[in-house]
Amino acid sequence: MKVGVIVFPGSNCDRDMYHVLTDVFKVDAQYFWHEKKLPSNLDAIILPGGFSYGDRLRAGVIAAHSPVIADVKRLASRGLPVLGVCNGFQILVESGLLPGVLLKNTSLSFMCKWTHLIVENNKTPFTNKLKIGQKIPIPIANGEGRYYADEQTLVDLKKNNQIVFRYGEEINGSTMRIAGVCNKEGNVVGMMPHPERAVEPQINPIDCKPASLIFESLFNTIGVTN
């Protein structure tokens, strides 16, 4: 059982993610540089947060052309669970794996604060141990985190139950307060907030259990017991 953590030039939450997987949850994980091929025996892929290519042109767009993305697409099409966090979400959106787009926050500022999410879909590999409506205390840290989708895309998102997380409060101007979405099949999930920063009591001032369930949902899906 192995989780691949993709590293792009400018990723900066890759070590946090690796630490949480290996030290907190004792799961086998491996870094993959974005120019490397992904082995087909991975059980899940995580695109961590950061500032790939310094957010040049638009957050995530240059990394979306990385060689590894073809492998991510291939494995995702086979149903492999894929999670993009923050910049990882932006990359998934820019690569076409997830619908919508992430625009600059209405405040125009980089926002780094604690907020909470509301679970809207608990059928994904990353939410199946959570309850609909459950609150997740979690931090955000982004400048381009305002989720936007055009009208037709929103209709499809609602119809296909693709809205996974919403913010519990208006925070950055996101359409319908959307904080995370999945693809139609449900195996590819993207979210702006950082679950890897919310699973340890030392750094979570509120409650680290709900965010832990995001990871435990994945391990539940891929059959890891810990």
Partner 1 sequence: MSTYTVHVTIENKPGINDPEGETILNDLVLKGNYSFVTKIHSAKMLKFTIKEKDKKSAEKKVRKLCDELRIYNPMVSRITVDVF
In the range 129-158, which residues lie near partner 1 by CB under 8 A? 148-150, 153
Phi, psi of 218 (to 5 degrees): -60, -45
For position 35 contacting partner 1 by CB under 8 A, the verdict is no
Contact criterion met (CB below 8 Å) for 100 and 191? no
State in angstroms the smallest separation of the CB of 224 from partner 1.
Answer: 35
Of 57, 41, 44, whose CA–CA distance to 6 is shortest?
A: 44
Catalytic annotation present for 19: no
Catalytic annotation present for 194: yes
Contacting residue, 5, 64, 119, 178, with partner 1 by CB under 8 A: 64
Q: What are the residue ranges of helices labelled H in the chain?
A: 14-19, 67-77, 87-94, 151-159, 209-222
Contacting residue, 63, 83, 101, 208, with partner 1 by CB under 8 A: 101
For position 22 contacting partner 1 by CB under 8 A, the verdict is no
For position 176 contacting partner 1 by CB under 8 A, the verdict is no
**Strand runs labelled E in 122-214:** 135-142, 146-148, 163-167, 178-182, 188-191
13, 86, 182, 208: the active-site residue:
86
- Whole-number Å distance between alpha carbons of 212 and 186: 20
Stretch that binds partner 1, among 47-55, 74-82, 103-111, 201-209 (CB under 8 A): 103-111
Contact criterion met (CB below 8 Å) for 51 and 86? no
Compare residues 103 and 176 and give the one whose CB is closer to partner 1.
103
Q: Which residues are catalytic?
A: 86, 194, 196
Residues that bind partner 1 (CB under 8 A): 57-58, 61, 64-65, 94, 100-101, 103-104, 106-108, 148-150, 153, 173
